Structure 1
């Protein structure tokens, strides 16, 4: 069961890469979604990218803690 659908503006990187899921297993990610830092997208979230449904493998906050960096949430999807 999923929560209410939320639309987010995001940068999409459709490049295959190897990531580790929340349990440490190696998984192939087909798409990386980069969105605003305070967005919420935990592992196993259903994500629609360019009309294609995929699922979040793992998400990571990239926060410069006040430094002038491009802070964002990075979500690796199947």
Structure 2
């Protein structure tokens, strides 16, 4: 039985700059976490934001369940495009043959 997403499946690398708050000059980000394993799908999907609105996601990420992605973070995709998460969802189904992972829907 698979308990977490296999590392060989996460063949893309992204950079996450964790959001730390706002300043007088705009958002503040922590030090970049580079070379984060991910599976990136650059497709357009209609998703629901945490406030219930329907919004367009232009990239979806599948990450290891231990990867932290604070709301408002800046994510650099393998293409070099920077984006921010719309939603971050931990997926865990103990006892079922579904690998634990974190799903991130990006703007």
TM-score past 0.5 threshold? yes
User: What is the match of residue 48 of structure 2?
Assistant: 20
How many residues are treated as equivalent by the alignment? 78
Cα distance per residue 1:9-58 (max 9 Å; x no partner)? 00001111111112111110000011100111133210000211111110
The runs of at least 4 consecutive aligned structure 1 residues that moved more than 6 Å come to: none
Query: Match for residue 45 of structure 1?
Result: 73
Deviation at 1:69, TM superposition (A): 2.1
TM-score under structure 2 length normalisation: 0.66
The root-mean-square deviation of aligned C-alpha atoms, in Å, is: 1.3
Q: For 1:9, what is the secondary structure of its paired residue? A: strand
